[in-house]
Amino acid sequence: MKITTVTKHFKTPLYLESGRILEPYDIAYETYGELNKDKSNVIVICHALTGSYHAAGLYEGDRKPGWWNDLIGDGKCIDTTKYFVICANVIGSCFGSTGPMSLKYPLNEPYRLRFPVITISDMVKAQISLLDSLGIYEVYAVIGGSMGGMQALCYAIEYPHFTKRNIIIASTYATQPWAIAFNKVAREAIIKDPKFDSGMYDVKDIKENGLNGLAIGRMSGHISYLSENSMQKKFGRNYVETEGLYELFGRFQVERYLDYNGYNFSKYFDPLSYLYITKAINIFDASRNYDSLEDSFSNIKSHLTLLSVKSDQLFFKEEMEQIQKSMKKINKGNLVDYHCIDSDYGHDAFLVEVEKFVPYISEALK
């Protein structure tokens, strides 16, 4: 599989929903496979909250491949001998695209809290600019899970002629109070950490030692990504053998898991990026700027494949079902396929139990 990693610089302004402007800005992206002559084999992959452009393949010297490596590659479900796959890091993130720690022109110092609030629509608009610059004006499919699913739905509504297939996985039509509440815990933990210092934290110190607030926030997120059944199977009531049961700070296995993931994460993900991206997730509502959800969906011309997860405790299956109901209400039910994946893993099933999603994605790509 041919892998190409690029950071593209844009001097033209990106006009944001807020009325603010990003100028200039960068988009980091990765491609897999070969673009055919008529550019008709393009599939766009949209990543989730903490994802990056590195969706598949293995870098030299690395032990861990891209986050959707089980799905993307030569001979796999998204076959890179057939398709040209592109995954761009969203603006606001910390993996190469312009975000809060990028240098603000012409001051040559990080934006930090001067970075504008962005939305899912802004993320997609930036990706459209990238694809335009590559001479790609229509794609075979757009696929995304979680926040990536929000982007895939946004493509369908705001760019109805851009693709004929939108595959939306473990996502929602609008972020509900339950998910916003989890994000609130994470956001407060970050902001209230003294080392956050109103966004003026020492970047080198964060990379070396992490930020406790971000680690705690990530723990909150992990709880919502799993399910009761998956936690029971994975950890049960098992205790860390080397830590005494009657030691005040002794831990159950589930506590050690949260510690490990939370504190490791806080060393490589930027705290301000986490704040800006969760804000974008919280804002997301497909009916915003429209009279109703049905009014918004009236723009859709592409075929939607909706895949929810039965045990999802972040974006409940009923939220995905609502998309199908609204499409049927406006006589567009023929443009929707809906499937609920029977998995006990919870929200993250689309990253972990990929094999359960493969048949439906394969069918949608036919």
Query: Between 212-225 and 271-283, two packed helices, what is the crossing angle to 10 degrees?
Result: 40
**Catalytic one of 273, 343, 347, 348:** 347
**Catalytic one of 146, 171, 230, 273:** 146
**Residue 38 catalytic?**
no
Contact by Cβ (8 Å): 58, 111: no
- The per-residue DSSP string of 325-350 comes to HHHHHTT-GGGEEEEEE--SS-TTHH
Q: Which of 118, 121, 58 is nearest to 285 (CA)?
A: 121
**Cβ neighbours of 13 (radius 10 Å):** 12
**Residue 285 catalytic?**
no
Contact by Cβ (8 Å): 240, 256: yes
**Residue 347 catalytic?**
yes
Q: Residue 249 is encoded by which pair of tokens?
A: 């700070």
Contact by Cβ (8 Å): 346, 230: yes
**Cα separation, 101 vs 112, whole angstroms:** 6
**Catalytic one of 79, 270, 312, 348:** 312
Give catalytic residues, as residue numbers. Answer: 146, 312, 347
